[in-house]
Amino acid sequence: MAIEIVPEWMLNLDDEDISFIKKFLLASGSLKEIASQYGVTYPTVRLRLDKLIQKIQISDDTAREPYIALIKRLAVNDKLDFDTAKLLISEYKKMKGEL
């Protein structure tokens, strides 16, 4: 029986994200091919990839600053607008004396 170890950055990804990564790899990183598979435009796929990159970067921040990572994750998932997210993070850092 093999023990599966999932990297920390993968824990915050949903099934759609994992599926996108798989298709991206199988298409040798061709965003044009991925756009064709999904039936969307290249800019739409580029935006999806950018959001996925942000999710992975945010997961790297989680251990250091869980509150900031949560705010960023909400913004990336369109649950919170970016201006509000920036304001919340800025105020949090002020409270901690980082600004």
Cα-based angle 79, 67, 96 (whole degrees, multiple of 5): 130
Residue 68 has a pLDDT of 84
Give pTM, 2 decimals.
0.65
- Residues 7-55 have pLDDT tens digits of 777 877 889 999 999 999 999 999 999 999 999 999 999 999 998 998 8
Give the separation between CA 39 and CA 42, rounded to whole angstroms.
10
- Residue with the bigger pLDDT between 32 and 93: it is 32
Per-residue confidence (pLDDT) for residue 11, from 0 to 100: 75
Task: Give the Cα separation of 99 and 43 in Å (integer).
Answer: 36
Burial class (CB in 10 A: 0-12, 13-18, 19+), 13: middle
- Go through the domains of the chain in sequence order and give each one's CATH number: 13-61 (1.10.10), 63-99 (no CATH)
Q: What is the pLDDT of residues 43-59, one digit of tens each?
A: 999 999 998 998 888 77
